[in-house]
A = this chain, B = another copy of it.
Amino acid sequence: MNGRYPIALHILTLLNKTKSELLSSDYIAGSININPALVRKEISNLRNHGFIASKEGKGGGYSIAKPGRQITLADIYNAVKEPHILGVAKNTPNPDCPIGKQINKNIEELYIDLDTSFIAKLGTMTLEDFSNKFV
């Protein structure tokens, strides 16, 4: 997995903690210490999922679109997640081997099972819970 989840969590925590004003991509980038364009790119995705509201133009910026209690860490995971929880091999297994022939289907099933249980766990925690860890 790449670094998108922690970045998304950082952005959302900042916005959830800042209800009275808009934050610019520059400000957010300064807190995370990455490029503002990357922040805007990830926010673009999070906005499409309804977590963030944005305002263009001078004095514009970002704010949280709904209460942190209504955003679970599972929602965020679903918004940034990679296709497979335990990684994908890029090979094409040998169809003439009895194991090779069936492995992809069986791995697929396993992953669905794992992902379901992982999401159930993440679903018990909200952005508000996470935000409250900050003093």
Contact = CB atoms under 8 A, between A and B. Distances in A.
A114 interface: yes
B1 A99 contact: no
Contacts of A55: none
B114 A133 contact: no
Interface stretch (A8-16, A44-52, A60-68): A8-16
A94 B9 contact: no
State the main secondary structure of chain A at its contact with B: helix
A11 to B, nearest CB: 10
In the complex this chain forms, how many copies of it are found?
2
Nearest to A38: B91
A94 B10 contact: no
A114 B109 contact: no
Contacts of A114: 118, 121-122
A85 B122 CA distance: 12
Interface residues of A, number: 51
Contact of A86 (B5, B34, B91, B94): B5
A33 B93 contact: yes
Contact of A134 (B6, B91, B98, B133): B98
Contacts of A110: 73, 125, 130
Given A9-B107, A114-B122, A34 B91 contact: yes
